[in-house]
Structure 1
Amino acid sequence: MARTAASGDSRKRGSIRARGNSLQVRVYAGVDPVTGKPAYLTETVRGTDKAAHRAANKVMTKLQAQVDGQRSASTSVSLSYAIDEWLRTADIESTTRHGYVGYIERSIRPTLGDIPINKLTARMLETFYGELRRCRIRCSGRPFVEHNAEGEHDCGKLKCRPHKCKGMAPSSVRQIHSIISGVLNAAVRWDWITSNPARIAQRPKQTPPQPDPPSPAEAARLVEKAFALDEDWGTLVWLVMTTGIRRGEVCALRWSRVDFDEGIVEIRRSYTTLRGVGTEKDTKTHQMRRIALDTETTVLLREHLARCQQRYEALGVQWNADSYVFPGTRGNDPSVPYPPDAVSSRYKKMAKRLGIDTHIHALRHYSATELLTAGIDLRTVAGRLGHGGGGATTLRVYAAWVAAADRKAAEILGSRMPRVNRGGE
């Protein structure tokens, strides 16, 4: 049985029809701008009696008002289609895009890809996030063996093992949420949906940063070992330790950005590799910054420059001011920078031989914490690190060391206060 309003265009007015023990309200919402097919708003009302029909008429009036006010979803394309369009149009750096595609293909598309974007809800997203936190492959919870090959094979040789649930880290789930939210924000801008459900969906809380810098004694051992291995390598480790610049930034540094007279180094670019191909890009915060160098660091860089020039002259290699400060290919080609991954790997191996569990990025933490502990103001430290927000990021990451510096400041101020006689003393 179908019932359509008597007046006006029947397709525009909509219809109410029986579907088993319920009524389906259907209102024409125009042509889908993406698929070119007719689009309809539908809603189900339980029951088929007179009361259900009255409720269905109210629902139809509500849906018609949505269409008239252009508040209805204008397309029912899948999330997978929207993701493809977003990736095609979004301005995303290559390394970031590579990471996004990994999350999309492994987690988002297999689970939510076929769902129409106008049917996606905050509840669906929160359920999805919860499943990922329980098990990254969203298993059924029943025991099974994770096979490393398809078809018949010898599990013993391939080391196939019983599956053990391993939840995805909160930071990874937050990254997935960010991707989905970005896609749906674009869908809102394109008038494909009226609102973004990811805006109200709860995501895992962000884990507080826990920087673990080496101690001053460990830092001394690390830099001493670096110079013992190689003067060029020791200079690189020293520069990162004293300036707190990022790994990619030290690899992208050119001699034209080192001002020996002023004792300043300009950080303008970062270097990254993806699938073996290296590229220069903007810094992480897309900002240029100038970092003051101490006298010892300036002397070390002058000596490093002299060594480089002598080496290139002996090899017959041309050098100019745009040459990289720390070249790759064993330092023999000034036009190729030291690969960031190679820097991390070499530093990790060096620290392991010393019995120190650390990584190259921890030197950035060392620089920041030493400055804060010495009482340097937060804005200056943030400027050297390249943090945005006027020091908000620095405060969030290094809150414990800021508190220690604040305690030191209080003691200094207290010691300088005039003594007051109390109680007639």
Structure 2
Amino acid sequence: MTKTKQPAMKDGIIKRGSTYSYVVRERDPETRRTKPRWVGGFRTREDAKRARDKARNDVHRGTYVPPKDLTVGDWLDRWITGHAVELKPSTVASYRRCIDLYLKPKLGHLQVQGLSPSTLSGVFRDMGMAGGRNGKALSARSVEYTRAVLRKAMADAVVERVVEVNPVTGSKSPRKQGKPKHVTWTGTQQRTFIEAATESRWWIVWALALATGMRRGELCGLEWSHIDLDAATLSVERSATQIGTEIVTTDTKNHENRPVALDPYTVTALRAWRKQQAAERLQWGPAYTVSDLVFTWESGARVRPHYLTTQFVADQDGRGLPRMTLHGARHSHATTLLREGVPVHIVSKRLGHRDPSVTLNVYADAIPEDDTRAVDVFTRAVWGA
């Protein structure tokens, strides 16, 4: 019986067929023992030698990332499952939607360790051109959000030694076509809407949204214990998010409670609403759903965030106003204050922004007349005219 001659190995490199392979000893992090791993597919001996030298150097420095047969789709599934416990349910739902709609269809079949900035730049470019529904263009904001989710996932892949470097760093996303323009209402338009919308059960929600700039989830999570009508203040402490049919209550977006002062009109409106709610509780008796929530149905059942979004638009019918989303009430509040000269840091606190720079970045175009106002102030201060 003739023995098959084994290919000769030299300096840890061997030729198998038409390609070269090298061997490196990996250290098991638990047992601290080493074991050999063969890595192949190199076109020349020199290519294999360079890869071998780098691998051995990385092993010595403790930065070695062993080759893994892991797809992007598998890694994203593993990543979101492992990090769900530390993220808000709404964030997890948003990440999962981004992964399922955009990342897995475009990248899921690729090897994690085969990703490169140039490859990703091409994918993000294609998303911007035809990554939306029915092959339509996907907004630059959506592409950037998708890129941000992948960047987070790959940053954790670096930490877990799945990849050596984050391939999203250095990739390019489509050029933004300026900042998105927010539809807002003037003070007069806000008053017109509130006075006309009192026929709707939820006019009090619209009034508070316009008066405070609170987010939809914050409105739905607001409790009477958070409001001091005598002091004309409320504290934004909780946020309610709808995920499918389930409503989840969590901390606010930046995990901070913030006080918000109320105007006399809104205080009066809230007092009337509390009396109405108390009367409904008596009328329903034992069937009433008891809670401390400010905004409920006649039965005490909580109102769903998605419903408020739809109803706010419906309540605008026939008012002759620019069509605006519920989140537009937040923009309207901020824009009104900034145009009337309220300092940015005060507006930032009312909105719950982490830093006034966020407010400036979003609403810089809300105060186009400021330069003229600055000249007027300077003239009066210096020249007395």
Alignment of 1:9-408 (within 5 A): 13-17=11-15, 20=18, 24-30=20-26, 39-42=37-40, 44-45=42-43, 57=49, 60-76=52-68, 77-90=70-83, 91-136=86-131, 165-206=135-176, 208-227=179-198, 229-230=199-200, 232-316=201-285, 323-328=292-297, 331-333=298-300, 336-356=301-321, 357-389=323-355, 391-405=356-370, 407-408=372-373
Q: 8 Å contact 1:27–1:64 — kept in the other structure?
A: no
Answer whether contact 2:183 2:328 (CA < 8 A) is retained. yes
8 Å contact 1:25–1:59 — kept in the other structure? Answer: no
Q: What is the TM-score with the length of structure 2 in the denominator?
A: 0.86
Question: Using the alignment, how far apart are the partners of 1:19 and 1:265 within structure 2?
Answer: 75
Flag the 1:133–1:320 CA change in 2: closer, same or farther, 3 A: closer
* 1:123 to 1:72, Cα distance in 2 relative to 1, 3 A: farther
Q: CA deviation at 1:409?
A: 4.1
Contact 1:95 1:274 (C-alpha < 8 Å) held by counterparts: yes
Task: Tell me which amino acid in the other structure corresponds to 1:81.
Answer: D
CA shift, 1:212, in A, is 1.9
Residues 63 and 213 of structure 1: CA distance in aligned 2, closer, same or farther (over 3 Å): same
- Alignment RMSD: 3.0
3-state secondary structure, aligned to 1:381: helix
CA 1:419–1:104 in structure 2 vs 1: closer, same or farther (change >3 Å)? closer
TM-score of the superposition, structure 1-length normalised? 0.78
Residue 45 (structure 1) shift: 4.4
Instruction: Tell me by how many angstroms 1:127 deviates.
Output: 1.6
Task: Give me the whole-angstrom Cα distance separating, in 2, the residues matched to 1:75 and 1:58.
Answer: 16
Stretch deviating more after TM superposition (192-201 or 73-82): 73-82
**SS in structure 2 opposite 1:272?**
strand
Q: Report Cα offsets for 1:141-194 as digits up to 9, x if no partner.
A: xxxxxxxxxxxxxxxxxxxxxx97412222222222122222211111112222
Verify the 8 A CA contact 2:289 2:299 in the aligned structure 1. no
Equivalent in the alignment of 2:3: none
Give percent identity, aligned residues only. Answer: 23
Is the alpha carbon distance of 1:348 and 1:58 closer, same or farther for their aligned partners in structure 2, counting shifts above 3 Å? closer
Q: Do the aligned residues in 2 keep the contact of 1:253 with 1:267 (CA within 8 Å)?
A: yes
Q: Which has the larger radius of gyration?
A: 1
Q: How much has 1:16 moved relative to structure 2?
A: 4.0
May I ask how many residue pairs the two structures share in their alignment? 372
1:353 CA displacement: 2.7
1:30 partner SS: strand
* Deviations, residues 8-64 of structure 1 (Å, cap 9, x unaligned): xxxxx42142654xx53423353798xx99644446345xxxxxx567655544443
Assess, with a 3 A threshold, how the Cα gap between structure 1 residues 136 and 28 changes in structure 2: closer, same or farther.
Answer: same
Q: Does the 8 Å contact 1:32/1:75 carry over to 2?
A: no
Kept in 2, the 8 Å contact 1:209–1:397? The answer is no
Do the aligned partners of 2:234 and 2:262 also contact (CA within 8 Å) in 1? yes
Compute the displacement of 1:197 (Å): 1.1
Q: Residues of 1 paired with 2:64 and 2:289: CA distance?
A: 62
2:267 aligned partner, one-letter code: T
Q: How far apart are the structure 2 equivalents of 1:84 and 1:187?
A: 12
